[in-house]
Copies of this chain bind each other. A is one copy, B any other.
Amino acid sequence: MGVSSRQKIEVSAGHPYPVFLGANLEDLGDYMLSRFGNIEQALIITQPVVAKHYADRVRQGFKGCRVDLVTVSAGEGEKSLARLSALVGEAVRLGADRLTLVVALGGGVIGDLAGFFAGVFMRGIRFVQVPTTLLAMVDSSIGGKVAVNHPAGKNLLGAFYPPLAVWTDFSTLASLPWQEVQNGLAETVKHAVLGDPDLFAFLEEHLSKILERDPLILRELTARSLAVKVRLVSQDEREQGVRALLNLGHSFGHALETATEYEGISHGRGVSVGLVAASRLAEERGLIAGADVQRIMNLLSGLGLPISVRGLEAGRLVQLMAADKKNRFGRKVLILPRGIGQAVQVEDCSDEDLRRAWAGVIDSNFPIS
């Protein structure tokens, strides 16, 4: 795919930055070096398997500039303060300083970890997001949120630290395991439900092509999905209003991830179940028709995503939700769908409401993995 097919979408935040779609990994260095001066070192932070496939393609673009590579193993467990500390030691050993550009090459874990590293190393150095998974492309690379986990909660330590740019090369999707594609699809369904009914219909219509991983369809749904996020983030970078709608399904999903200690259930699968729980709660309140909840469940199931979990206890999950960052004045803040294509924030859910919502998705007939 040539340069001519490169699309650019601007995120208009406090520090505006461009999102490039259909870009080539090989062209990143040239773009960064010509657009931003004073880059002395490109420090690629990635995972071993991603490095194997793509590091050389990134490296060749940074001509006349030192390029170093640090790999961290895969998994949400890597998003820790211990890993951050090790990264700092490695970076200093490799001569990183204020003129280093961090290249976050990988999925959501790498983007969050490398972004937070860039945000706090020497009080902040420059970085670029290079998402290689569908989840990172449609969601986590956009919006400037970076973080690491803590035993007391997911993403508990972080910052709003926007990248200089987001650089998306669709060719990286080809080598992605199907379960990774599913993670991105869960966020895409979420974006459709909260902000784009046409995207929802598109997903329903092209379900079989998505399952075949048709590149053009994947590209189209990526562009539409991330457009929903770009729109909300541009209106409200610091999440004091509409950006919170993006948390649809996440208060439930995070509790699931915490309950399984970040390893048992992937982010996308947590969001999928969370979306169902939120939809059922919304139905109970008359915010969404039962038929639409059924459409959401059908689409998620059709994509091979879970709509229920087993082996977990509703009361425990309600407790875990009490630690959610979005809570205010001790009240649970939840995002619920209003039909398909809109969402609202509610603050009056009781623990009993939540317990019922959880009970509705805890089932022994639908194993989670």
CA distance A355 to B35 in the complex (A): 39
> Which of B88, B97, B156 makes the CB contact (< 8 A) with A122?
B156
CA distance A81 to B157 in the complex (A): 11
CA distance A156 to B158 in the complex (A): 16
A18 at the A/B interface (Cβ < 8 Å)?
no
> Which of B93, B98, B119, B151 makes the CB contact (< 8 A) with A159?
B119
**Contact: A88 with B152, CB < 8 Å?**
yes
**Contact: A325 with B122, CB < 8 Å?**
yes
Please give, as numbers and ranges, the residues of chain B lying within 8 Å of A145 by CB-CB distance. 123
Chain A 304-344 near chain B by CB (<8 Å), digits 1 or 0: 00000000000000000001010111100000000000000
Chain A 141-169 near chain B by CB (<8 Å), digits 1 or 0: 00001010011110111111000000000
Please give, as numbers and ranges, the residues of chain B lying within 8 Å of A323 by CB-CB distance. 92
A48 at the A/B interface (Cβ < 8 Å)?
no
CA distance A173 to B155 in the complex (A): 39
Q: Which residue of B lies closest to A150 (CB)?
A: B88
Please give, as numbers and ranges, the residues of chain B lying within 8 Å of A155 by CB-CB distance. 123
Chain A 90-128 near chain B by CB (<8 Å), digits 1 or 0: 001101011100000000000000000001111110000
Within 8 A of B (CB), among A29-73: 40
A89 at the A/B interface (Cβ < 8 Å)?
yes
A13 at the A/B interface (Cβ < 8 Å)?
no
**Contact: B89 with A157, CB < 8 Å?**
no
**Contact: A329 with B123, CB < 8 Å?**
no
**Contact: B97 with A123, CB < 8 Å?**
no
Please give, as numbers and ranges, the residues of chain B lying within 8 Å of A153 by CB-CB distance. 92
A84 at the A/B interface (Cβ < 8 Å)?
yes
Contact A121:B157 (CB < 8 A) given known A150-B85, A327-B97: yes
Please give, as numbers and ranges, the residues of chain B lying within 8 Å of A156 by CB-CB distance. 88, 92, 121-122
Chain A 75-91 near chain B by CB (<8 Å), digits 1 or 0: 00000010011001100
**Contact: B159 with A159, CB < 8 Å?**
yes
Please give, as numbers and ranges, the residues of chain B lying within 8 Å of A121 by CB-CB distance. 156-157
User: How far is the CB of A91 from the nearest CB of chain B, in Å?
Assistant: 8
Please give, as numbers and ranges, the residues of chain B lying within 8 Å of A84 by CB-CB distance. 81, 157
Please give, as numbers and ranges, the residues of chain B lying within 8 Å of A158 by CB-CB distance. 120, 122-123
CA distance A206 to B38 in the complex (A): 47
CA distance A151 to B99 in the complex (A): 21
A-B contact pairs, 23 of them (CB 8 A): A40-B330, A81-B85, A84-B157, A88-B156, A89-B151, A89-B152, A92-B152, A92-B153, A92-B323, A93-B152, A97-B328, A98-B325, A99-B329, A119-B159, A120-B157, A120-B159, A121-B157, A122-B156, A122-B325, A123-B155, A123-B158, A123-B159, A124-B159
> Footprint of B on A, CB under 8 Å?
40, 81, 84-85, 88-89, 92-93, 95, 97-99, 119-124, 145, 147, 150-153, 155-160, 323, 325, 327-330
Other than the given A97-B327, A120-B120, 16 more pairs (CB < 8 A) read A88-B152, A88-B156, A89-B151, A92-B152, A93-B152, A95-B330, A97-B325, A97-B328, A98-B328, A120-B159, A121-B156, A123-B145, A123-B158, A123-B160, A124-B159, A159-B159
